[in-house]
Structure 1
Amino acid sequence: MSKVKLSDLIPDDRNANVGTEYGGYLLTQSLQQLGAGRSILVDRNNRIIAGNKTVETAAAIGLDDVQIVETDGKTIIAVKRIDIDLDSKEGRELALADNKVSQVNLNFDADVVDELAIDFDIDVKSWGFDAIEPEETEIKLPSGEKGFRQMTFTLSDLQAQEVETALKLCKKKNDFQGTGNENSNGNALAAIVAHYLSQFNG
């Protein structure tokens, strides 16, 4: 075993999972309240194969230390939390959080999957990637009072820059009180769309 810093790890620059906003929120809550559980996976050069979102979130909340266990794939590696019993509030809560974050923080980028299939001759259909469409997922907030949907779009670099600029300008001009949505980007996008539609309805 060896110890390194989180900054020594290299993120996957072609990670097919773009994640979701709600999944990122839950991942942050889990790491902050319950600590690290599931391990990540790196290659021989410390490039991250699995766990990119975990590393991003850990860095954001100040978790710096990484303990590396080397293996050739022929041995199952178990991460042992010596401070937790499964049949305790913390143990069961960590198990639930782990499963829920895995469920809601998965959002595949269809373009990246297609590129990887071509560049590395991967039969992605054999892994269940029959037809990947942009995700539109209904999200229930912790209060359970309102339903939200996560929507993902694929844009060119120029389009993305224009969208980001428009969102920033809209957020400076509006306070979005009373929308029931705490996401500033979502509020700004909805305001821009409403303004656009008003040109046809006015």
Structure 2
Amino acid sequence: MSNEIKFDKRNYRRHGDKNKQLIKKSLDELGAGRSIVIDNDGEIIGGNGVFEAWGNKPVKVIESDGSELVVVKRTDLSTNDEKRKKLAVMDNTTSDTSTFDMKLLKADFDIPTLDELGVELKIKDELGVEKPEVEFTEELLEEHNYVVLYFDNSVDWLQAQSLFDLKQVQALNSKEGFRKIGVGRVLKGNVALEKLRKHFSGE
């Protein structure tokens, strides 16, 4: 049966050496935990790394249309077993140590879709340091000196967005799976003054 299963030709997940070693260690010492998923053509949807490490050992395929949750019951493990506890940890570490192939993802999906799918997008700044694709808003602290501008019509507000180059940012209380994104309304004073200087000098 395993010879009928094919690796995903566009696997969105990268498996480095450490990740492959952990997967093999988990399978060799603790046995199979989660099942992998294949499509109707036998191509793997999720679990390429596990299938590769599993090798030629026995494989059992359960057919499903996705309307029922397939639960793997490990009859050899009890709740307090040391082996069971290790499997609970390695079930997560084997996933955490793999990464997404961002080039492949961005080739197949647009950024809003990737955001909906929970993929954390990152870019690199001038120093090569990774940062979120959508930056967090500036924080206004009590010790800061500030002025407040308000706009009672959309024309002036649009001009302000253009003049100050206001971008979409994340709220500071955003969290994984629940990101609040909107126009950034807190701007550092020196940045605002520099933009005004350039505007009025015609630069």
TM-score under structure 2 length normalisation? 0.56
Partner of residue 125, structure 1 = 115
Partner of residue 157, structure 2 = none
Q: Distance in 1 between matches of 2:16 and 2:66?
A: 29
Map residues 27-106 of structure 1 onto 2, 5 A cutoff.
27-59=23-55, 62-63=56-57, 65-104=58-97, 106=98
> What are the ranges of 5 or more consecutive residues in structure 1 without an aligned counterpart?
137-202
Q: Distance in 2 between matches of 1:122 and 1:10?
A: 30
Q: Distance in 1 between matches of 2:112 and 2:40?
A: 21
Q: Distance in 1 between matches of 2:121 and 2:54?
A: 32
Measured on the aligned residues, the alpha-carbon RMSD in Å equals 2.2
Indicate the percent of aligned positions where both proteins have the same amino acid.
Answer: 28
- Letter of the structure 1 residue corresponding to residue 91 of structure 2: D
> Is contact 1:116-1:122 (8 Å) kept?
no
Partner of residue 113, structure 1 = 105
- Letter of the structure 1 residue corresponding to residue 104 of structure 2: V
Q: Deviations over 1:57-97 (max 9, x none)?
A: 111xx42x211111111111001111111211111111111
Q: Distance in 2 between matches of 1:87 and 1:13?
A: 40
Q: Once the 2 structures are TM-superposed, how far is the Cα of residue 132 of structure 1 from its aligned partner?
A: 4.1
Aligned to 1:26, which of 22, 26, 29?
Answer: 22
Q: Distance in 1 between matches of 2:99 and 2:11?
A: 11
Q: Once the 2 structures are TM-superposed, how far is the Cα of residue 133 of structure 1 from its aligned partner?
A: 5.2
Larger of the two Rg values belongs to structure: 2
Q: Which structure's relative contact order is higher, taking Cα pairs within 8 Å and 6+ residues apart?
A: 1
* 1:14–1:132 distance in 2 versus 1, CA, 3 Å: farther
Q: Once the 2 structures are TM-superposed, how far is the Cα of residue 109 of structure 1 from its aligned partner?
A: 1.1
* 1:130–1:82 distance in 2 versus 1, CA, 3 Å: closer
TM-score under structure 1 length normalisation? 0.57
> What are the ranges of 5 or more consecutive residues in structure 2 without an aligned counterpart?
130-203
Partner of residue 187, structure 2 = none
More helix by share: 1
Q: Distance in 2 between matches of 1:115 and 1:90?
A: 41
* 1:130–1:92 distance in 2 versus 1, CA, 3 Å: closer
Partner of residue 183, structure 1 = none
* 1:129–1:95 distance in 2 versus 1, CA, 3 Å: closer
Q: Deviations over 1:88-139 (max 9, x none)?
A: 11111111111111111x2111111011216xx98222113352459x9xxx
Q: Report the count of equivalent residues.
A: 125
Q: Distance in 2 between matches of 1:128 and 1:8?
A: 31
- Letter of the structure 1 residue corresponding to residue 101 of structure 2: D
